[in-house]
Every structure is written in C-alpha cells, then in structure tokens.
Homo-oligomer: A and B are copies of this chain.
Amino acid sequence: MPYFDAASAAPLHPVARQALLASLDEGWADPARLYREGRRARMLLDAARETAADAVGCRPDELVFTSSGTRAVHTGVTGALAGRRRVGRHLIVSAVEHSSVLHSAEVHEQNGGTVTQVAVDRSGTVAPSAYAEALRQDTALACLQSANHEVGTEQPVAEVAALCREAGVPLLVDAAQSLGWGPVEGNWSLLTASAHKWGGPSGVGLLAVRKGVRFAPQGPVDERESGRAAGFENLPAIVAAAASLRAVRAEAVQEAARLRELTERIRVRVPELVPDVEVVGDPVRRLPGIVTFSCLYVDGETLLHELDREGFSVSSGSSCTSSTLTPSHVLKAMGVLSEGNVRVSLPAGTAEADVERFLEVLPGTVAAVREKLGAPAAETVVRDDALVVDSLGKRCPIPVIELAKVIGQVPVGGLVRVLSDDEAARLDIPAWCEMRGQEYVGEEPADRGTAYLVRRVS
C-alpha cells in the first residue's frame, strides 16, 4: 500500500527503530543525575547531540533537542525576537512558511510587533531582493524555509542569509523538509528541524542557535537543554533521531537522484495523462521527493478519498480536504489553482512500480470524480451586459465548473459574473483564467458573497 505523504511524516527508518530499541534499555534515566544510569543517559544524549550537530553543521553546544519541529520554531522565533528586543520588533517571514512560523508571527503581531510577509512568485520562490527591501533598522529577525513543504520549491537561503548578515539581522531557517537531504548552505543564524520528517521518531525537533546570536528564551524554563527546551529529555527518541539522520544522510545522494527521477516522471506525465492539470512548484530548484499538481473541476476531498481506496496516501492543499475551509496559504501566495490539489511526497525507498501504478490509476480516478461532479445545474441569468452564474452556497470546485460551462455562451469580449461565497473561489477563478487564457477582470462585493468578473478572450 504505497504511502506518498512523507512530507507530512515519514515512516520510521530501520536505523531509528534499532536505536530506539537499544536506548529504551540504556537511556530512560535522568541525564542530570550522577549515578550510573544517569551517566549512561548523559553519554547517549551527548553522543546524539554530536551526531546531530555534525549533520546540521554547527557546534554541539549550539544545538538543543526540542519536543517537535513546531516547538523548535516557536522557541526559536520567540527567543530570537526577545533577544533583539532593543533593536526593534520587526519580523520578516516569507508568505509560504510553515504554519508554525506564521503562528509565531501572528502572536508577535498580537503582542505589538510588526511583521513583513515577503511574497513569492508563481513557482513559490522568494526573491532575495525582496528580503533586502524588507530589512529595516528595527528588524529583529528574518525567517526563511530551506524548501517548501507543500510544493517542494527550494528557497535561495544562502543569498538571503548573506543579505541578512550584511544588515546584521539573524536569519532563522526552517529546514524541516530538507535536513535529511543535506545541510543548509549559507550563513544562517538559527535553524530548526523535525525528526519525523527524515524517518526519525516523533517527539524530537532540533533548534540550533549560532554562538553570538542574541537569544532569550521566553516563558518558564528549567536547566535542561541549556534552558532552551524545558522538560525531561525524550532520550530514546533523541538517540533514534540522531542515528537515523546520520543514516539517511549516508544514503542521501543516491536516493535523491532516484526520487528526483520518479517525481520528474510524475511532473511530466500527469499533464499528459490527465487533462486540465497544473503542476506547481519550481521544476528545477526543488526537493527530490515532492511533486504537487492541481486538477481543475475536481473536489480535493473526494479525489483523496478515491486515491485512498486505490491504496495511495497523498495529501492536498485544497480547502475541501481538511478541517479548515480556506485553501492552503502556500498555493494562495503562489497564485496557483488550489482545487483538486494533490501533493505526492515519496518516502525514501519508494518503489518505481508504485509510482507507475499511481500514474495508471490517477487518470481514471480524476475522470470519475469529474463525472460525479459533472453537470451541476447552473442558474444563469443575463444582467446588465454580463452572464451571471449564481454559485452561492456551493463549495469548490463547483464555482469554477459552472464558470467553465458558461464561458462559451457569451461572445468574445463578453463578461461572466460568478457569485460565490466560497473562499477558494478567490484563488481558483483567477487561476482558471490564467490556465485557460481568459481575462480575469477582478472582484467586487455582492449582496451575498463576492462577484468575480471574467472576460471571454478566446
């Protein structure tokens, strides 16, 4: 049963399993104690720290273990902001950061700080020049992910780090998606990561803070992990995390090349096999194992459900697939289609045959979902000079389906006005226009919901 959601959580690496088992017996005691069980635990902890620091490219005393990648980000961002409180309270983040970074930024704003969100292009990449422009006298911290978790796009971290260093501003790099593949290049100041993304166990994150970076942990602390991660160390899992990081690194070059070939196959063949698909994310500067595409006229939740029935576990940034009703902030920031969105993220060791079977199964699955949604009765009336599509109360992808059905009914140069109260329409109607070569005129408030205006060009 192929599991294609490694970007969410990777299955446990065999080395992680072995190390975890071994350290359950040796590493359960308090490493702060002086008796033999404590000393043994301390030795395991020290060794794990050295291994992880080596993989990160920092000194062991610059690295602490946290209880998750999210916790590492929360602690890293708030600690760095507090450490530079005197300089100012301005924070820079990219628009496509992980939610843990964006949540930290929200809290910072609620507490009176200011935040600049740096935009990305259609591939999901930030421009280093945009970071240069965002840097101010009162900038306390900048954050940039090493690579995006939803579309796999790699960011120009080294360039941004150099610009930040020139300005005397620390850069925090969320390396959750990339650390298993290699160290983060460039002169970063803080780095965070999450073990279960590389095949380590859950319950372990990394936070590296370079010597010389001002850092003031917030909230209650204790004496553990240099006062940067309170609570008893999750030791067997820490040992497993470090051991598996070393193991995946040893296989990284070869496995990256193999997965890159497999995801390239998906990138190329999905648009050939499935009509009306947009593959998103940078085609070249990208992580080896992630490929993301969006299918017009498809409801993401149904598609995921059908793929799950066929044995494929994938995720989606569509608004209709999770507890949230808004589409992925990443797809939104990129301005690409969110409907029928599918993220395939291959774990290390994915069999070629599984990818081939996915490519076999996908076209029929998409076609079936499209057929099911096929012919919703669109109530259309011509008002003023525009054809009005009333999609109020209907969820994605219905508004776009109805738009697509009526666009041929207006003459070239004519307008279609789509009424919708689904947040996803704001993203998907312009994205559809871009894909279809129609002109997106803009939106305006309606009595209920929003009216999206589209002019037929061809």
Contacts and interface: CB of A to CB of B under 8 A. Distances in A.
By CB atoms of chain B within 10 A, which of A106, A236, A312 has the most? A236
A9 B30 contact: yes
A278 interface: no
Interface range on chain A: under 10, 10 to 19, 20 to 34, or 35 or more?
35 or more
A223 B323 contact: yes
Given A12-B28, A196-B28, A321 B34 contact: yes
Interface in A409-425: none
Contacts of A25: 12
Contact of A313 (B1, B10, B33, B231): B33
A67 to B, nearest CB: 3
Interface stretch (A152-160, A199-207, A384-392): A199-207
A128 interface: no
Interface string A1-20: 10101001111100001001
B219 A35 contact: no
A414 to B, nearest CB: 41
Contacts of A35: 3, 5, 304, 308, 312-314
Nearest to A201: B236
B103 A203 contact: no
Contact of A11 (B1, B28, B36, B234): B28
A69 interface: yes
A8 B29 CA distance: 8
Interface string A186-219: 0000000010100001110100000000000011
A104 interface: yes
Contacts of A70: 222, 230-232
A457 B36 CA distance: 44
B8 A67 contact: no
Contact of A74 (B20, B30, B220, B305): B220
16 contacts: A3-B29, A5-B29, A5-B37, A8-B33, A12-B24, A12-B25, A28-B202, A67-B68, A67-B71, A68-B232, A70-B230, A70-B231, A74-B220, A74-B230, A78-B220, A223-B323
Given A5-B29, A219-B219, 6 more contacts: A9-B232, A12-B24, A37-B313, A100-B231, A103-B221, A205-B231
